[in-house]
A = this chain, B = another copy of it.
Amino acid sequence: MYTLEQLRMLVDVADTGSFSACARKLGKAQSAVSQGIANLEVDLDLQLFDRSTRIPTLTPDGHRILDMARAVLVQATQLDIGARSIHKGDEAHIRLVVDDALLLPQLGNTLDRFGKAYPATRLELVTSASPDVAEMIAKGQADLGIFFTPIAFDDSTDVCFIGNLPFVAVCHPSHPLAKRTEIAAHDLFQHRQLLIRGLQGQAVEMLNLVSAQAWWTNSFQGLLHMCQQGLGWTYLPDHMAAPLIAAGQLHQMQVSFDHKPWSPPVELVYRKHKVMGPALSWLKEELKTLL
Protein backbone atom coordinates (compact mmCIF):
# COMPACT_ATOMS: atom_id res chain seq x y z
CA MET A 1 0.00 0.00 0.00
CA TYR A 2 1.26 3.45 -0.88
CA THR A 3 2.12 5.97 1.81
CA LEU A 4 1.55 9.66 2.24
CA GLU A 5 5.28 10.16 1.85
CA GLN A 6 5.18 8.58 -1.59
CA LEU A 7 2.37 10.90 -2.60
CA ARG A 8 4.45 13.83 -1.39
CA MET A 9 7.29 12.60 -3.55
CA LEU A 10 4.97 12.37 -6.54
CA VAL A 11 3.77 15.96 -6.31
CA ASP A 12 7.22 17.23 -5.51
CA VAL A 13 8.84 15.49 -8.44
CA ALA A 14 6.04 16.72 -10.67
CA ASP A 15 6.52 20.26 -9.42
CA THR A 16 10.31 20.36 -9.59
CA GLY A 17 10.67 18.08 -12.59
CA SER A 18 13.48 16.15 -10.97
CA PHE A 19 13.92 13.21 -8.63
CA SER A 20 17.16 14.70 -7.30
CA ALA A 21 15.62 18.09 -6.56
CA CYS A 22 12.79 16.38 -4.73
CA ALA A 23 15.29 14.41 -2.67
CA ARG A 24 17.15 17.58 -1.75
CA LYS A 25 13.92 19.29 -0.78
CA LEU A 26 12.68 16.44 1.38
CA GLY A 27 16.12 15.94 2.89
CA LYS A 28 16.60 12.41 1.63
CA ALA A 29 18.94 10.57 -0.65
CA GLN A 30 18.12 10.57 -4.35
CA SER A 31 17.76 6.82 -4.33
CA ALA A 32 15.05 7.07 -1.67
CA VAL A 33 12.91 9.12 -4.04
CA SER A 34 13.71 6.82 -6.92
CA GLN A 35 12.58 3.83 -4.92
CA GLY A 36 9.60 5.65 -3.46
CA ILE A 37 8.24 6.53 -6.87
CA ALA A 38 9.02 3.05 -8.16
CA ASN A 39 7.13 1.49 -5.25
CA LEU A 40 4.19 3.80 -5.86
CA GLU A 41 4.14 2.75 -9.49
CA VAL A 42 4.13 -0.89 -8.46
CA ASP A 43 1.34 -0.30 -5.94
CA LEU A 44 -0.87 1.47 -8.44
CA ASP A 45 0.28 -0.75 -11.29
CA LEU A 46 0.74 2.34 -13.43
CA GLN A 47 3.71 4.07 -14.94
CA LEU A 48 3.66 7.61 -13.60
CA PHE A 49 6.81 9.07 -15.15
CA ASP A 50 8.46 8.77 -18.50
CA ARG A 51 12.20 8.52 -17.76
CA SER A 52 13.34 8.40 -21.37
CA THR A 53 13.57 12.16 -21.61
CA ARG A 54 16.13 14.42 -20.00
CA ILE A 55 13.83 15.43 -17.18
CA PRO A 56 11.25 12.90 -16.02
CA THR A 57 7.86 13.86 -17.40
CA LEU A 58 4.48 12.77 -16.16
CA THR A 59 2.65 10.23 -18.27
CA PRO A 60 -1.04 10.99 -18.93
CA ASP A 61 -1.88 8.42 -16.26
CA GLY A 62 0.60 10.07 -13.95
CA HIS A 63 -1.07 13.38 -14.49
CA ARG A 64 -4.44 12.04 -13.47
CA ILE A 65 -3.01 10.38 -10.37
CA LEU A 66 -1.16 13.57 -9.51
CA ASP A 67 -4.40 15.50 -9.26
CA MET A 68 -5.82 12.92 -6.90
CA ALA A 69 -2.62 12.78 -4.86
CA ARG A 70 -2.80 16.53 -4.41
CA ALA A 71 -6.34 16.17 -3.11
CA VAL A 72 -5.19 13.62 -0.54
CA LEU A 73 -2.35 15.83 0.62
CA VAL A 74 -4.56 18.89 0.93
CA GLN A 75 -6.68 16.96 3.39
CA ALA A 76 -3.62 15.73 5.22
CA THR A 77 -2.41 19.31 5.53
CA GLN A 78 -5.80 20.28 6.90
CA LEU A 79 -5.38 17.58 9.50
CA ASP A 80 -1.97 18.94 10.47
CA ILE A 81 -3.35 22.45 10.73
CA GLY A 82 -6.27 21.14 12.73
CA ALA A 83 -4.00 19.29 15.14
CA ARG A 84 -1.91 22.40 15.69
CA SER A 85 -5.07 24.38 16.21
CA ILE A 86 -6.34 21.95 18.84
CA HIS A 87 -2.95 22.09 20.48
CA LYS A 88 -3.10 25.87 20.71
CA GLY A 89 -6.34 25.40 22.64
CA ASP A 90 -8.67 26.72 19.96
CA GLU A 91 -12.29 25.98 20.70
CA ALA A 92 -14.01 23.16 18.87
CA HIS A 93 -17.15 25.16 18.32
CA ILE A 94 -18.35 28.73 18.71
CA ARG A 95 -21.93 29.86 18.50
CA LEU A 96 -22.49 33.48 17.59
CA VAL A 97 -25.97 35.00 17.89
CA VAL A 98 -26.75 38.26 16.17
CA ASP A 99 -29.83 40.36 15.77
CA ASP A 100 -30.77 39.87 12.14
CA ALA A 101 -30.56 43.60 11.52
CA LEU A 102 -26.84 43.24 12.18
CA LEU A 103 -26.09 40.82 9.36
CA LEU A 104 -23.87 43.46 7.80
CA PRO A 105 -21.54 42.87 4.89
CA GLN A 106 -18.62 43.60 7.23
CA LEU A 107 -19.73 40.72 9.42
CA GLY A 108 -19.20 38.30 6.55
CA ASN A 109 -15.76 39.76 6.09
CA THR A 110 -14.92 39.26 9.76
CA LEU A 111 -16.18 35.68 9.74
CA ASP A 112 -14.11 35.00 6.64
CA ARG A 113 -10.97 36.16 8.42
CA PHE A 114 -12.01 34.14 11.44
CA GLY A 115 -12.16 31.00 9.31
CA LYS A 116 -8.65 31.62 8.07
CA ALA A 117 -7.28 32.32 11.53
CA TYR A 118 -9.03 29.38 13.23
CA PRO A 119 -9.55 26.74 10.55
CA ALA A 120 -10.35 23.97 13.02
CA THR A 121 -13.01 25.88 14.90
CA ARG A 122 -16.52 25.46 13.61
CA LEU A 123 -18.68 28.51 13.67
CA GLU A 124 -22.42 28.55 14.05
CA LEU A 125 -24.18 31.78 13.22
CA VAL A 126 -27.64 32.15 14.74
CA THR A 127 -29.96 35.07 14.14
CA SER A 128 -32.74 36.17 16.44
CA ALA A 129 -34.35 39.25 17.84
CA SER A 130 -32.23 41.29 20.24
CA PRO A 131 -34.08 40.26 23.41
CA ASP A 132 -33.66 36.62 22.44
CA VAL A 133 -29.97 37.20 21.78
CA ALA A 134 -29.59 38.41 25.35
CA GLU A 135 -31.50 35.45 26.65
CA MET A 136 -29.44 32.90 24.74
CA ILE A 137 -26.24 34.36 26.14
CA ALA A 138 -27.65 34.45 29.68
CA LYS A 139 -28.69 30.81 29.41
CA GLY A 140 -25.33 29.79 28.00
CA GLN A 141 -26.87 28.66 24.72
CA ALA A 142 -24.41 30.77 22.75
CA ASP A 143 -20.92 32.13 23.31
CA LEU A 144 -21.12 35.63 21.91
CA GLY A 145 -23.95 37.92 20.87
CA ILE A 146 -24.45 41.21 19.03
CA PHE A 147 -27.65 43.09 19.70
CA PHE A 148 -29.37 46.42 20.29
CA THR A 149 -29.46 47.84 23.80
CA PRO A 150 -30.98 48.91 26.06
CA ILE A 151 -33.03 45.88 26.75
CA ALA A 152 -33.81 44.22 30.05
CA PHE A 153 -31.23 41.57 30.89
CA ASP A 154 -29.96 40.08 34.10
CA ASP A 155 -26.51 40.44 35.66
CA SER A 156 -25.10 37.14 34.41
CA THR A 157 -23.89 38.87 31.25
CA ASP A 158 -21.39 41.56 30.34
CA VAL A 159 -21.93 43.98 27.49
CA CYS A 160 -19.58 46.15 25.50
CA PHE A 161 -20.62 49.08 23.33
CA ILE A 162 -19.34 48.83 19.77
CA GLY A 163 -21.18 51.54 17.86
CA ASN A 164 -24.48 52.82 16.51
CA LEU A 165 -26.50 51.58 13.57
CA PRO A 166 -28.47 54.22 11.64
CA PHE A 167 -32.18 53.56 11.16
CA VAL A 168 -34.71 55.14 8.84
CA ALA A 169 -38.49 55.29 9.04
CA VAL A 170 -40.06 53.59 6.02
CA CYS A 171 -43.38 52.51 4.59
CA HIS A 172 -44.65 51.05 1.33
CA PRO A 173 -44.77 53.61 -1.55
CA SER A 174 -48.55 53.16 -1.75
CA HIS A 175 -49.02 53.78 1.98
CA PRO A 176 -50.96 56.94 2.94
CA LEU A 177 -47.92 58.24 4.85
CA ALA A 178 -45.83 58.08 1.66
CA LYS A 179 -47.82 60.99 0.25
CA ARG A 180 -46.90 63.31 3.13
CA THR A 181 -43.76 65.42 2.84
CA GLU A 182 -43.47 66.32 6.54
CA ILE A 183 -44.67 63.92 9.19
CA ALA A 184 -45.28 64.81 12.83
CA ALA A 185 -45.68 62.44 15.77
CA HIS A 186 -49.46 62.59 15.75
CA ASP A 187 -49.46 61.57 12.05
CA LEU A 188 -47.57 58.39 12.84
CA PHE A 189 -49.86 57.82 15.75
CA GLN A 190 -52.75 57.16 13.42
CA HIS A 191 -51.15 54.39 11.42
CA ARG A 192 -50.14 50.88 12.32
CA GLN A 193 -46.51 50.53 13.43
CA LEU A 194 -44.53 47.32 12.87
CA LEU A 195 -42.31 46.37 15.79
CA ILE A 196 -39.78 43.86 16.97
CA ARG A 197 -40.01 41.83 20.13
CA GLY A 198 -38.62 38.57 21.41
CA LEU A 199 -40.44 35.29 21.67
CA GLN A 200 -41.24 36.02 25.32
CA GLY A 201 -42.60 39.43 24.39
CA GLN A 202 -39.57 41.47 25.51
CA ALA A 203 -39.15 44.62 23.44
CA VAL A 204 -36.09 46.76 22.81
CA GLU A 205 -36.67 50.03 24.66
CA MET A 206 -35.01 52.04 21.95
CA LEU A 207 -37.24 50.65 19.21
CA ASN A 208 -40.40 51.40 21.01
CA LEU A 209 -44.03 51.96 20.41
CA VAL A 210 -45.04 55.29 18.89
CA SER A 211 -48.37 54.41 17.31
CA ALA A 212 -51.65 53.50 18.92
CA GLN A 213 -51.75 50.32 16.89
CA ALA A 214 -48.90 47.86 16.53
CA TRP A 215 -48.15 44.55 14.95
CA TRP A 216 -45.17 42.48 16.05
CA THR A 217 -42.59 40.19 14.61
CA ASN A 218 -39.38 38.70 15.95
CA SER A 219 -37.07 39.53 13.06
CA PHE A 220 -36.21 42.45 10.84
CA GLN A 221 -36.76 40.21 7.86
CA GLY A 222 -40.30 39.76 9.10
CA LEU A 223 -40.58 43.49 9.60
CA LEU A 224 -39.38 44.13 6.08
CA HIS A 225 -41.80 41.59 4.65
CA MET A 226 -44.77 43.10 6.41
CA CYS A 227 -43.71 46.59 5.44
CA GLN A 228 -43.36 45.58 1.79
CA GLN A 229 -46.85 44.15 1.95
CA GLY A 230 -48.06 47.58 3.01
CA LEU A 231 -49.17 46.41 6.46
CA GLY A 232 -47.74 49.43 8.27
CA TRP A 233 -44.76 51.70 8.77
CA THR A 234 -41.61 50.86 10.69
CA TYR A 235 -38.01 51.69 11.42
CA LEU A 236 -35.46 49.68 9.47
CA PRO A 237 -31.67 49.75 9.56
CA ASP A 238 -30.31 51.92 6.80
CA HIS A 239 -28.28 49.14 5.16
CA MET A 240 -31.38 46.99 4.74
CA ALA A 241 -33.67 49.77 3.56
CA ALA A 242 -31.35 51.80 1.31
CA PRO A 243 -31.28 49.49 -1.76
CA LEU A 244 -35.05 49.02 -1.61
CA ILE A 245 -35.64 52.76 -1.27
CA ALA A 246 -33.35 53.34 -4.26
CA ALA A 247 -35.32 50.72 -6.24
CA GLY A 248 -38.58 52.45 -5.37
CA GLN A 249 -39.88 49.45 -3.44
CA LEU A 250 -39.89 51.30 -0.14
CA HIS A 251 -40.60 54.91 0.79
CA GLN A 252 -38.41 56.76 3.27
CA MET A 253 -40.51 58.98 5.48
CA GLN A 254 -39.42 62.48 6.50
CA VAL A 255 -40.24 62.54 10.19
CA SER A 256 -40.15 66.04 11.59
CA PHE A 257 -39.82 65.24 15.28
CA ASP A 258 -36.56 63.32 14.90
CA HIS A 259 -34.80 64.85 11.91
CA LYS A 260 -31.39 63.94 13.35
CA PRO A 261 -30.36 60.47 12.16
CA TRP A 262 -31.62 57.95 14.62
CA SER A 263 -29.01 55.30 15.54
CA PRO A 264 -29.59 52.88 18.39
CA PRO A 265 -26.52 51.57 20.19
CA VAL A 266 -25.15 48.15 19.30
CA GLU A 267 -23.33 46.07 21.89
CA LEU A 268 -21.48 42.83 22.21
CA VAL A 269 -22.73 40.49 24.92
CA TYR A 270 -21.16 37.48 26.60
CA ARG A 271 -21.37 35.62 29.89
CA LYS A 272 -19.69 37.22 32.83
CA HIS A 273 -16.46 35.56 33.99
CA LYS A 274 -16.55 33.16 31.06
CA VAL A 275 -13.15 31.75 30.22
CA MET A 276 -12.57 32.50 26.57
CA GLY A 277 -10.27 30.47 24.38
CA PRO A 278 -8.14 32.11 21.70
CA ALA A 279 -10.76 31.85 18.96
CA LEU A 280 -13.53 33.39 21.02
CA SER A 281 -11.25 36.17 22.28
CA TRP A 282 -10.14 36.92 18.73
CA LEU A 283 -13.71 37.08 17.51
CA LYS A 284 -14.77 39.32 20.40
CA GLU A 285 -11.96 41.80 19.71
CA GLU A 286 -12.62 41.83 15.97
CA LEU A 287 -16.33 42.37 16.43
CA LYS A 288 -15.61 45.45 18.54
CA THR A 289 -14.52 47.14 15.31
CA LEU A 290 -17.54 46.00 13.33
CA LEU A 291 -19.18 49.41 13.18
**Chain A residues proximal to chain B, CB less than 8 Å:** 1-5, 44-46, 60-61, 63-65, 68-69, 71-72, 74-76, 78-79, 82-83, 86-87, 92, 120
Contacts and interface: CB of A to CB of B under 8 A. Distances in A.
A49 to B, nearest CB: 15
A75 B79 contact: no
Contact of A69 (B64, B65, B79): B79
- Interface residues of chain A: helix, strand, loop or mixed (majority): helix
Given A68-B82, A69-B79, 5 more contacts: A1-B4, A46-B86, A68-B78, A71-B78, A72-B79
Oligomer copy total? 2
B78 A92 contact: no
Nearest to A85: B64
A72 B3 CA distance: 12
Contact of A86 (B5, B61, B72, B78): B61
A88 to B, nearest CB: 12
A1 B120 CA distance: 20
Given A45-B87, A86-B46, A71 B75 contact: yes
Contacts of A5: 1
Nearest to A44: B83
Q: Ordered nearest first, which 6 A-B pairs have the shortest CB separation?
A: A68-B79, A72-B75, A71-B75, A44-B83, A68-B82, A75-B75
B1 A87 contact: no
Contacts of A46: 83, 86-87
A78 B86 CA distance: 27
B60 A68 contact: no
B75 A68 contact: yes
A217 to B, nearest CB: 30
A120 B3 contact: no
Contacts of A83: 44-46, 65
Contacts of A92: 60, 63-64
A68 B83 CA distance: 9
A146 to B, nearest CB: 26
A69 B75 CA distance: 8
18 contacts: A1-B5, A3-B3, A4-B4, A46-B86, A61-B86, A64-B82, A64-B86, A64-B92, A65-B82, A65-B86, A68-B75, A68-B79, A71-B75, A71-B78, A71-B79, A72-B72, A72-B75, A72-B79
